[in-house]
Amino acid sequence: MATGTDAMIFAALLQHLKGLPDVLPIATPGITFPPSGQTKPPKFLKYDFMPNRTRQITLGDDPQQKIGMVQVSVMWPIGSAIIDAIDVSDQIISHFKAQTIFASGVKITINSEPWASRPIKDEDRMNVPVTIPYIAFEPET
């Protein structure tokens, strides 16, 4: 179980992503994907956590503001309809838009509408990145 604020944010936003209807398999940092002995699925999501600098709101030991972004890349096979990947990115945007998520005393707010960037050609597939900005506050001790 996550105990640090950033770890709690990482886990809570990943859990929220897993709540998408018909969610594709998700590749996360530091975990072998696909699991050993399996082949990479043609379509999947890639989850990246990008915390930023903590913002000192007050002096002393008061909870501080955590800001950052999560990027969920819709990974799609080259040669199949990219419009379908863009549709999945729209579903992710709608799923996170205007959400407040709570995790072990941490309040995480999606502070502006997530957005999709242009499709990018990777080695073996297309990638439609969706950026999800957040603001959170450390739990009070």
pLDDT at 62: 64
Q: What is the mean pLDDT of the chain?
A: 90
Assign 3 a pLDDT band (cuts: 50, 70, 90). confident
pLDDT at 41: 94
pLDDT at 25: 96
d(CA 117, CA 138) in angstroms, rounded, equals 30
Is the pLDDT score of 77 beyond 70? yes
Q: Which residue has the higher pLDDT, 40 or 58?
A: 40
Q: What is the mean pLDDT of residues 48-71?
A: 82
Half-sphere exposure of 67 (CA within 13 A, CB side): 8
User: pTM higher than 0.85, yes or no?
Assistant: yes
DSSP code string of 44-57: EEEEEEEE-PPB--
Q: State how beta strands 106-109 and 100-103 pair.
A: antiparallel
Domains of the chain by residue range: 1-22+51-125+136-141
pLDDT at 63: 67
pLDDT at 92: 98
pLDDT > 90 fraction of the chain, expressed in percent and rounded = 69
pLDDT at 59: 65
d(CA 1, CA 16) in angstroms, rounded, equals 16
